[in-house]
Amino acid sequence: MNGIDSAAESHQQFQSTLQVAALQQHLSDDEIHAVCRQLGHVWRDRQLPPGVTVRSLVYRSLHQDKSIRAVLADLASASQDIACEVTDSAWCQARSRLPEDLMDTLVRRSDCRLYDMVGQQYFVWGRPIFLVDGTTVSMPDTPDLAEEFGYADGQHGQGRFPIARMTFITRAGVESVFDYRIGPYRQSEETQFHQMRDDIDCGAIVLADRKFCSFNILAKLCQKDIGMIVPLHQRRDPLKLINRGKAIGKDQWIVTFDLAPRLFKKYDDPSLPKQISVRLIRVRYRKNGKRKQMWLVTTLLDTQRYQRRDIIALYRKRWGIETRIGSVKTTLEMGVLRSKTAAAVATEAAATILAHNLTWTVIHQAAQQTDTPADRISFAGAIKTILSFSHSLRVTSGPQRAGIYVRMLDHVAAHTNLDRPGRSEPRMIRRVKRQYPDLKTTRQRAREGLS
């Protein structure tokens, strides 16, 4: 089914003044409309066609002011025709008309674009490295969201806002979000990971936290020739495993994981083996002057190719996904979503992840142009530069525009972070904030209590 993308002259003029023009080559009308057609989406002649709407979502994710009025104000500055005609409601309706899979498709395309650009230079042992971890995000307290996502239980009872569970898979070094899932708070990260595991490249290596050290995950990844490095789950006793295992060198053993009968019934998967062999590695280190140890589990059994010290060094890169989640939740402010329906929450989350991937595309371009390590370039600084240069890029064309884009990449590369390996910072603040009582009811009821 073909999309209807013909527009009146005024609308063509409006679309030519792109929002977030610095990302035009990575998020063009042609690409967005082509994806819409592939998804069978048809749209009418409107002032907010899919291309404009998607870019406005990305602009909202990048800008500090997340209000819809700020988005429309930026649109109005680009075209006189939009000044008084488009309302907050019209923008929300345009967002709801987007195809359901459009944003996720654009996220995958942005990841593929980054992988083609720089992916292979971050291979280890000739294999791509994926990082897995999960987090939670909050949202407004509406009946729709409460029913869809649910609340968290804390020490003082049920939380006051709905919470969604999110699991991310990112590419190490490339720093793009390869895939993600968002679901109810009660849905486990392991369940969400199982929904994404089949898309991971065969032959890859996955680094994850101890919560992903389950028999099911290890066995399923082994069946696809995907290696995994993960800390031993706290419920498994390393000494019992060692007693039943075989020593293969200093502080490393080949041990066997057995599939418990109750889990065999739970998974109901005939393809699961009854047991798997894994490599157990003991890591000794010091923290704050105290001796500590950690147990790593890996399915990379070849001790000649995958040496112990190299596996330990590779696992240290898992911290990179914590930084990426921090960029999405803190820098892009996705920790508290603003949409009030489940569909809008999914679109807002996807737009934020798309904005993250597009920003890293610009960062890698700047790194290549200036020979600056991409991991040293500031993500927050890149966002500020992209927004600042977009104003001049959307009113210029031809060679002049190309020159401005090159200058923008130089400015992106100029914002670098200090290299501080092993940095440890206390999670404390110095400036004391004024404290107010917690609002444990609706604001309307609180006002009534004051009268």
Report the distance separating Cα 342 and Cα 413, nearest Å. 38
The pairing of beta strand 246-249 with beta strand 227-231 = unpaired
How many DSSP H helices and E strands does the chain contain? 17, 10
Q: How many CA atoms lie within 13 A of 77 on its CB side?
A: 13
User: Which tokens is 12 given?
Assistant: 């063509």
Q: Which of 294, 277, 278, 297 is nearest to 286 (CA)?
A: 294
Answer yes or no: are the C-beta atoms of 265 and 243 closer than 8 Å. Answer: no
Q: What is the pTM of this model?
A: 0.90
Q: Which helix (H) or strand (E) holds 399?
A: helix 398-414
Report the distance separating Cα 441 and Cα 160, nearest Å. 8
Q: Which of 228, 245, 247 is nearest to 299 (CA)?
A: 228
Positive or negative, the CA dihedral 420, 424, 430, 433 is positive
Report the distance separating Cα 304 and Cα 252, nearest Å. 13
Contacts of 297 (CB under 8 A, 6+ apart): 213, 218, 228, 229, 230, 231, 232, 278, 279, 280, 281
**Amino acid 423: pLDDT:** 67
**Amino acid 237: pLDDT:** 93
Taking the CA atoms of residue 321, residue 325, residue 330 and residue 333 in that order, the dihedral angle to the nearest 10 degrees is 150
DSSP for 276-298 reads EEEEEEEEEEEETTEEEEEEEEE
The structural domains of the chain, ordered by start, are: 9-99 (no CATH), 104-327 (3.90.350)
Answer yes or no: are the C-beta atoms of 137 and 168 closer than 8 Å. Answer: no
User: Which tokens is 106 given?
Assistant: 């654009």
Q: Bridge-partner residues for 282, per DSSP? A: 295
**Amino acid 260: pLDDT:** 80
Report the distance separating Cα 358 and Cα 377, nearest Å. 14
What's at 296, amino acid-wise?
A: L
C-alpha distance across the termini of the chain, in Å: 59
Positive or negative, the CA dihedral 181, 187, 189, 191 is negative
Report the distance separating Cα 26 and Cα 405, nearest Å. 13
User: Which tokens is 235 given?
Assistant: 């419920």
DSSP for 88-125 reads HHHHHHHHHHS-TTHHHHHHHHHHHHHHHHHGGGG-BT
pLDDT in tens, 237-286: 999 999 999 999 999 999 999 888 777 777 777 888 889 999 999 999 88
Q: Which of 293, 298, 362, 374 is nearest to 113 (CA)?
A: 362
Contacts of 253 (CB under 8 A, 6+ apart): 241, 242, 245, 246, 247, 279, 280
Q: Which residue has the tokens 């993960």?
A: 230
State the average pLDDT for the chain.
88
Taking the CA atoms of residue 321, residue 322, residue 327 and residue 330 in that order, the dihedral angle to the nearest 10 degrees is 150
Ramachandran region of residue 70, left (φ > 0), alpha (ψ -120 to 50) or beta?
alpha
User: Which tokens is 86 given?
Assistant: 């488009």
- Below-50 pLDDT ranges, the chain: 1-17
User: Which tokens is 435 given?
Assistant: 């404290």
Around Cβ 31, how many Cβ atoms within 10 Å? 16
Answer yes or no: are the C-beta atoms of 214 and 194 closer than 8 Å. Answer: no
What's at 444, amino acid-wise?
A: Q
Q: Which residue has the tokens 């104000």?
A: 73
Strand ranges inside 288-423, DSSP E:
290-298
Give backbone dihedrals phi and psi of 388, rounded to 5 degrees, phi first.
Answer: -70, -45
